[in-house]
Chain A
Amino acid sequence: MNRKILEGINSTFVTVVALSLVIVFLSPFAFMMFTSLKTREQISVVGAPIWPAAQPKFTYDGKEQDVFKVPVAQCAGFDANSTAIENFALIKKGRQESTFVDPNNLDKGEFVCTVSWRALDRPWTLSPTWANYTEVWNTIDYLQKLGNTAFYAIVTMLGTVVSCILVAYGFARFRFPGRDLLFVVLISTLFLPGAVTIIPTYAFWAKLGLVGTWFPLMIPHFFANAYNVFLFRQYFMTLPRELDESAMMDGAGPLRILWSIIIPQSYPVIIAVVVFHIVFAWNDYFGPVIYLSGAPDKWPISYALSTFNGIYGAQPQLIQAGAFMAVILPIILFFVAQRFFIQGIVVTGVEK
């Protein structure tokens, strides 16, 4: 077989496999969108379509009437051999015979069909409802929760970026005995289970009367963390030292060098840490659960969403609307900044 054709078949096959996988993988997003636009009624009806739909009604003589799918052959004044099924509005219910009108052809007037209306299906038409979003928006005070999340993310982001840059600079540019040992200690904190520090830490904040405030959640972020220090340090080590040294000759101190030489060359890694941190803060759930559970006015969006399980257990349309409101901003951020995400991850994973 021609080599080019074989390549083409291979490409098509591999790409189709990847495409089907990605569709299955991302299908919950479609579920979320569809469900969040449904009415509660539709969800409780067995056999309703998976897309947001409603059973149409027709106003006749000032009254709202249900529309049914009627086999026209059963109706007076229609072709008795027809197999067509049409949507007719039910005017008068009967066990053997019911009276209908054709919404598209009112001139025809009322007519009788010999069908049991209970045995008839009702049609569904595409009909997204936006009411779930307004309900969630109001119930959880979405703007307040969004503000809380943004406040938490921005304050801790500033603390993380500043402290991690300082520490990483110390690890990357200064030689002294014990430095490498300290670096090993720093990296090993990544493997430390949170459980082994949480009890005294919580008791400590409780003793200070600060449970229910932002302090226990925010203060630790001002003292650097292993993951981001590692990212910064790896990046700083790739920067040439010549510029540092010539600045040193000119009498610049370490802070001056950091500020004027290192940081201006480090925008890619700074942006990576900023976006990682925002995603972390947006996602953070357990911290707010333990420190803010008694202060609903400070809840970030993740925590507010988690309470939905209790409030809206039987109302998936509201849960999915809430989920949409919690995921939309991180997803936008991801698509805007994906280059930095991907670079940052590769650094931590591959440059061991």
Chain B
Amino acid sequence: MLEELTSKLPKLPTLASVRKMSPISRKEMNNGLLFLSPWLFGFVAFTLLPMLATLFFSFINLNITDGIFSTPKFVGLDNYAHLLKDPQAGVSPGFWFSSKTPSSFLITIKFALYALPVGIFAPLLLALLMNNRHLKGQFIFRSLFYMPYIVPFVASVFLWGGMLNTETGWINRLLLSMGMAKDAVPQWANDVNWVYPTYVIMGIWGIGNAMLIMLAGLQGVPTELYDAAKVDGANQWATFWSITFPMISPVIFYNLTLNIIGLFQYFLVPLVVNNGTGRPGGATLFYNLYLYKTFFTYQDMSYGSTLAWFLFVVILVITVLLFSTAKYWVYYAAEARS
């Protein structure tokens, strides 16, 4: 899916080229655009215009009670200046180490550092296990590891939340029965130091999709390559780094990109588990959660829009950086051939 974006951007058509078209190709264009029209309309109405409106809101002062069509009061960059000075948002590095309550931006980054390695390596290791030629019943295992992915997210949060309940959950009961002291067992979602690992565990059921994609990538590696490596006397580690990894690098890149973008927007789990309160100790007031609270709870449209555009720009910059690294480590077989 990403190959379109990593390869060269298609050119914008010029008016002259459209004018020069033959009647047949003109008809083809009209038909094509007609079929595209549901998306074109939807894109303008539900994506492009709202995006621009969000940008516009960030330069004015607006509360939801004012209504969107009231006369705008331009405030220039005031909202952005406020954003830089807001210790809760914490987008300026000055707040990262000084502020007493954890800032939302730092929380988001911190959690990503826990969740990203799991989000990449857990599905990769599982896919390697599924692809092991010694494994019996590959199809059954593949289905069973994928299946929790379709469990509604609220339910999976409740299931793992129950497992991790400090009193009645199986995990703490297991730890106690293994001889751990009662005051030494983790307090999971109630403990500032355990709440991020808890969320990572609650998200572990989401790896099925990435596992399937990586498995399909592994199965698509031509066996001739492995045979050639064997002839050359390469060991398993060398084979993995010189053949398997480059061949599945597009799949890893795809998962990495989606994971990072998803983690910057992370907020549904704390919304359900801790009701979006930020408990314990403000450690779960993620950036996106703060954004939604600013709008839906405090009804501040302008500051909410400012937070949203800042998030958008951060995600855009990271995506562009990520894509610019792609040429060093992502291998597109089709491109190399042409």
Binding site for B on A (CB under 8 A): 7, 10-11, 13-15, 17-18, 21-22, 25-29, 31-32, 35, 43, 50, 163, 166-167, 169-171, 173-204, 206-207, 220, 222-224, 229-230, 254, 279, 282-283, 285-286, 289-290, 301-303, 305-306, 308-310, 316, 319-320, 322-323, 326-327, 330-331, 333-335, 338, 341-342, 345-346, 348-352
Contact = CB atoms under 8 A, between A and B. Distances in A.
Given A18-B129, A182-B36, A203-B64, A309 B51 contact: no
Chain A contact residues: helix, strand, loop or mixed: helix
A145 to B, nearest CB: 12
Nearest to B318: A191
Contacts of A327: 151-152, 155
B193 interface: no
B170 interface: yes
B118 interface: no
Contacts of A182: 36, 40
A30 B175 CA distance: 18
B162 A199 contact: no
A326 B296 contact: no
Contacts of B143: 335, 338, 342
Contacts of A224: 38-39, 42
B159 A31 contact: yes
A200 B53 contact: yes
A236 B217 CA distance: 22
A178 B18 CA distance: 10
B308 A196 contact: yes
Contacts of A345: 209, 212-213, 216
B47 A189 contact: yes
Contact of B129 (A14, A302, A316, A341): A14
Given A32-B159, A167-B38, A334-B150, A316 B141 contact: no
B54 interface: yes
B162 A28 contact: yes
Contact of A50 (B134, B150, B170): B170
B188 to A, nearest CB: 14
Contacts of A342: 142-143, 146, 212
B295 A222 contact: no
Contacts of A194: 265
Nearest to A308: B158
Nearest to B40: A182
6 contacts: A181-B9, A181-B11, A191-B319, A192-B51, A305-B155, A323-B159
A196 B39 CA distance: 19
Contacts of B144: 22, 25-26
Interface in B148-164: 148, 150-156, 158-160, 162-163
Contacts of A290: 296
B315 A207 contact: no
